Amino acid sequence: MTPLINAAAGSLGGLAAEQKSQDVTDWAARIGWVAGLLLLIALVYWLMREGWKWRGTLQGDLPELPQAPAEPGPARLALSGRYHGSTTAGQWLDRIVAQGLGTRSRAELTLTEQGLAVVRPGARDFFIPAGSLRGARLDAGIAGKVLAEGGLLVITWQLGDRLIDSGFRSDHAAEHTAWVDTLTELSGGPSDAAAHQHDTEGAR
């Protein structure tokens, strides 16, 4: 074998060894990066969970949610859609998490003369007596959830001494207007809180 061939072979062997060594180094770096990312995600999740628990503790004075009567009467309106959360009335980012109101879910709404029944598969159902309804409006967001302008049905009601906004979106958004009209009539007219629309500028 000539010196030239020996030199070429040696060079190729060195490149192969260097490439193999480089591959091992890359995999170690990638594993470390992925592990660090997973730890960061776990930390963020833990902080969110603790914040949720802390907010629930602060809202521990919220009364138990009313239960639907055994005989609610004939339905005036019914709606299928999503429940997007509840906040202190007029404060669209002040989320309420106590009594299960912080859990977003599918929802089936039925309005009767006795009140509004909210059935939530996989989450806690609740009932708003007719005497606790304070009005309704169309809005763009609630509890950090922002939709198209008027894409959300926000119902204002009273639980204990607290006024609450609860946001729903029907599978058929054209139904929202009829709900606003009927709830306003049933509640005796919109309250100041129900008439208030928050400013979502900068939230989109």
Token pair of 56 as six digits? 């629930």
What pTM was computed for the model? 0.69
The proportion of the chain whose per-residue pLDDT surpasses 70, expressed as a percent, equals 70
With cut-offs at 50, 70 and 90, classify the pLDDT of residue 54.
Answer: low
* Tens of pLDDT, residues 71-93: 888 999 999 999 999 999 998 88
Q: List the one residue out of 57, 129, 44 whose CA is nearest residue 97.
A: 57
**Tally: H helices and E strands in the chain:** 3, 10
Q: Which class is domain 77-195?
A: mainly beta
Q: Which of the two residues, 143 and 194, has the higher pLDDT score?
A: 143
Residue 86 to residues 112, 154, 155, 183: CA-CA distances in angstroms? 21, 9, 9, 17
Token pair of 137 as six digits? 């409006």
Per-residue confidence (pLDDT) for residue 36, from 0 to 100 = 75
Residues pairing with 111 in the sheet: 77, 116
Per-residue confidence (pLDDT) for residue 168, from 0 to 100 = 97
Per-residue confidence (pLDDT) for residue 43, from 0 to 100 = 61
The proportion of the chain whose per-residue pLDDT surpasses 90, expressed as a percent, equals 44
Q: Which of the two residues, 188 and 57, has the higher pLDDT score?
A: 188
Find the DSSP H helices in the chain: 3-58, 176-187, 192-195
* Tens of pLDDT, residues 117-170: 999 998 999 999 999 999 999 999 898 788 887 899 999 999 999 999 999 999
Per-residue confidence (pLDDT) for residue 120, from 0 to 100 = 95
Number of Cβ within 10 Å of residue 115's Cβ equals: 22
Q: Which of the two residues, 47 and 159, has the higher pLDDT score?
A: 159
Say if residue 89 is exposed, middle or buried (CB neighbours under 10 Å; 0-12, 13-18, 19+).
buried
- Residue whose tokens read 């062997």: 13
Distance CA(111)–CA(149), nearest Å, equals 24
Distance CA(185)–CA(187), nearest Å, equals 6
Residues pairing with 110 in the sheet: 78, 117
Distance CA(77)–CA(108), nearest Å, equals 11
Instruction: Output DSSP code: residue 14.
Output: H
Per-residue confidence (pLDDT) for residue 72, from 0 to 100 = 84
Average pLDDT, the chain: 79
Cβ-contact 180, 167 below 8 angstroms: no
